[in-house]
Amino acid sequence: MENYVKKSKYRHSRGIIVKQLLISDNAVEYVENLDLNNIEPFTIVLVDWNNGL
């Protein structure tokens, strides 16, 4: 395992990705097609409350 080295600049904020995810009609499709190159690594948990846990 290697230590994470933060870059001085990224393509855009992770917060923008979260906002787009929240307004998307299909979150899974959005994530599958998402280009995460040059985005700071992050973790998000998606839950579909309509189909139970």
Residue 11 in domain = yes
Q: Is residue 38 part of a domain?
A: yes
Question: How many Cβ atoms are within 10 Å of 11's Cβ, its own excluded?
Answer: 11
Given a contact cutoff of 8 angstroms between Cβ atoms, the answer to whether 21 and 36 are in contact is no
Question: φ, ψ for residue 45 (rounded to 5)?
Answer: -110, 125
**17 occurs within a structural domain:** yes
Provide the pLDDT for residue 36: 92
* Predicted local confidence at residue 49, as pLDDT: 79
Domain residues for the domain of 40 are 1-48
Domains in the chain: how many in total?
A: 1
Spatial neighbors of 34 by CB under 8 A, at least 6 apart, are 17
Question: Using one digit for the tens of pLDDT, what is the confidence trace for 4-50?
Answer: 889 999 998 999 999 999 999 998 899 999 999 999 999 999 887 77
pLDDT of 53: 61
Does any domain span residue 53? no
pLDDT at 52 exceeding the cut of 80: no
